[in-house]
Amino acid sequence: MNKIAKVTKNGIIFLMDWTCTVLITEWRTKYRRDMNTEDNNAKSRAVDSLLNFETVKYYNAEDYEVRCFDEAIVRYQVGSEWKSSASLALLNQTQNIIIGSGLLAGSLLCAHLVSEGRFQVGDYVLFGTYIIQLYTPLNWFGTYYRLIQSAFVDMENMLTLLTEQKEVNFILFIVTVVVHLCLFVSSAEVLRDVTFMVEAGQTVALVGPSGSGKSSILRLLFRFYDPQSGFIRIDGQDISQVRQSSLRSYIGVVPQDTVLFNDTIGNNIRYSRVMATDEEVERAATAADIHDRILELPQGYETVVGERGLKLSGGEKQRVAIARTILKDPRIILLDEATSSLDTQTERNIQTSLAKVCTNRTTIVVAHSHEMVVLNKNQRAALVICAIICGESKKKKRQQCVWCRHWLSRRGQYRLSSYSKGN
């Protein structure tokens, strides 16, 4: 009978301890998740301030950045880390109370039975040895469960990658581009009923006011994200079914803001094709009209350009980007307002280099001026897409849009199409 009572008591204590461990661990999971979020926010704030140190110094905002980082640290330490640590302490203390209470109750029972002569002192020692051997693994069992649960919370962001759709590998050869799509970002309609086709070797210019979705189309083509409806096809193949690495190997981009690595200028050009030889790099630089300028530098192609290319001018960085694209030798060229931040003379020089890049290649241009659209006066843009946001009917939209009025006045030189940005 006494053995049955001891087994029952130990079973009850085990059940109480395990139930307490599971319930409190599940309850404190939200604090662990909040702690990870605030930790990421604090680190992101620090990295953002360091990457934009020039802007911080321009506006003498060092104290502001320190204060913002301090607030992020306080939210992490006080708002999240403290709650996570406190809930962990509560769990440990609750486990200790349950185990200690069970040990105390068992010891009192054994002492009572010894006083009645039903137990010997050796039986009490045996009980103590037995209960300690039982509770130590039990305590570690709860600890491991808690650690595993915390590890899964820490890995949540990584595990979301497993839900990504598997990429499919297709090979692209012809570069006819067909676009029909709608795009929503944060519940806001960015693009609606966008439809156009670019034949192989054609040049398409996307023009329109800021925020009308021109650059979004380029990001969709590069598959930084996918449209909510519609499709983008290259040579009849929906790019959503194409492996991203395969798609991007056929596309070259000259961005508005070229970011260079703190490495040699030769390696920055070679970045688009890391196995390229020095001769190929020099030929690309020559085609981009920057080879002579590189030779004037103290160490030529071995000159380190500094963080984000600070040692080079804006025009020189753009030429490096053009040289990268030439070295990559893509079938499709995307130009995202590649000369918008340059002076007139530099812009004209860059346009000459861009014209060399775009010859006999399918080109999509995000333009801010008609000079940028006409990359080569002997080879005009085949189609101009005007991104608009005003008006009700398409005809009224064209009449109200300043960009449409400009291109309608040049109807004899270009063909005008239009699409809607949404309501």
CATH number at residue 62: 1.20.1560.10
Of 235, 146, 145, nearest to 197 (Cα)? 235
**Distance, CA of 99 to CA of 135 (rounded, Å):** 7
Say if residue 242 is in the same domain as residue 138.
no
**Distance, CA of 244 to CA of 14 (rounded, Å):** 53
Of 299, 297, 279, 298, nearest to 287 (Cα)? 279
- Report residue 45 CA to chain centroid gap: 16
User: Which of 288-318 are b and which e, b meaning 16 or more Cβ less than 10 Å from the residue's Cβ?
Assistant: bbbbebbeebeeebebebeebbebbebbbbb
172 lies in a domain?
no
363 lies in a domain?
yes
Say if residue 381 is in the same domain as residue 306.
yes
CB 42, CB 72: distance < 8 Å: yes
Say if residue 218 is in the same domain as residue 96.
no
Of 328, 354, 363, nearest to 199 (Cα)? 363
CB 172, CB 237: distance < 8 Å: yes
- Report residue 142 CA to chain centroid gap: 37
Backbone angles phi, psi at 207, to 5 degrees: -125, 160
Say if residue 253 is in the same domain as residue 326.
yes
Last residue of a domain, one of 103, 135, 162: 162
Residue 411 has a CB neighbour count (10 Å cut-off) of 9
Say if residue 64 is in the same domain as residue 140.
yes
Say if residue 376 is in the same domain as residue 232.
yes
Q: Which two tokens stand for residue 339?
A: 């000369």
Last residue of a domain, one of 131, 162, 193: 162
> What single-letter amino acid sits at 195?
T
- The residue whose two tokens read 């156009």 is 196
Q: What is the CATH classification number for the domain harbouring 385?
A: 3.40.50.300
Last residue of a domain, one of 104, 139, 162: 162
CA-only gyration radius of the chain, Å: 33
Where are the alpha helices (H) located in 166-264, listed in sequence order?
Answer: 214-221, 244-248
CB 245, CB 301: distance < 8 Å: no
pLDDT at 53: 78
171 lies in a domain?
no
Backbone angles phi, psi at 117, to 5 degrees: 85, 5
Residue 276 has a CB neighbour count (10 Å cut-off) of 19
302 lies in a domain?
yes
Backbone angles phi, psi at 254, to 5 degrees: -115, 100
Q: At what angle do helices 314-328 and 344-358 cross, to 10 degrees?
A: 0
Say if residue 104 is in the same domain as residue 220.
no
Q: Please count the structural domains in the chain.
A: 2
In tens digits, what is the pLDDT along the chain, a chain of 423 residues? 455 555 555 566 666 666 776 777 777 777 888 888 888 888 888 888 887 877 787 778 888 888 988 988 888 888 777 887 787 777 777 777 877 777 787 778 778 877 887 777 777 787 777 777 777 777 777 677 777 777 777 777 777 777 766 555 444 444 455 554 444 444 456 677 777 777 877 777 777 667 767 777 888 888 877 777 777 888 777 887 877 778 888 888 888 778 888 888 888 898 888 888 889 999 888 888 888 888 988 888 898 888 777 888 878 888 888 888 888 888 888 887 766 655 666 667 667 767 767 777 788 888 755 444 444 444 444 445 554 444 333 444 444 455 555 555 554 444 444 444 443
377 lies in a domain?
yes
167 lies in a domain?
no
Q: Which two tokens stand for residue 314?
A: 């804006």
> What single-letter amino acid sits at 412?
G
Say if residue 138 is in the same domain as residue 49.
yes
Q: Which two tokens stand for residue 414?
A: 């270009």
Say if residue 83 is in the same domain as residue 204.
no
- How far is the first Cα of the chain from the last one, in angstroms, to the nearest whole number? 80
For 212, the domain range is 177-420
CB 323, CB 282: distance < 8 Å: no
> What single-letter amino acid sits at 58?
Y
Say if residue 83 is in the same domain as residue 222.
no
Say if residue 106 is in the same domain as residue 145.
yes
Q: If residue 386 lies in a helix (H) or strand (E), which one and from where to where?
A: strand 383-388
**Distance, CA of 230 to CA of 253 (rounded, Å):** 23
pLDDT at 382: 44
Say what the pTM is. 0.59
Where are the alpha helices (H) located in 52-120, listed in sequence order?
Answer: 53-58, 62-74, 82-115
Say if residue 203 is in the same domain as residue 97.
no
**Per-residue DSSP letter, 307:** G
- DSSP codes, 110-121: HHHHHHTTSS-H
295 lies in a domain?
yes
Query: Which parts of 99-187 are beta strand (E)?
Result: 177-185
pLDDT at 379: 46
170 lies in a domain?
no
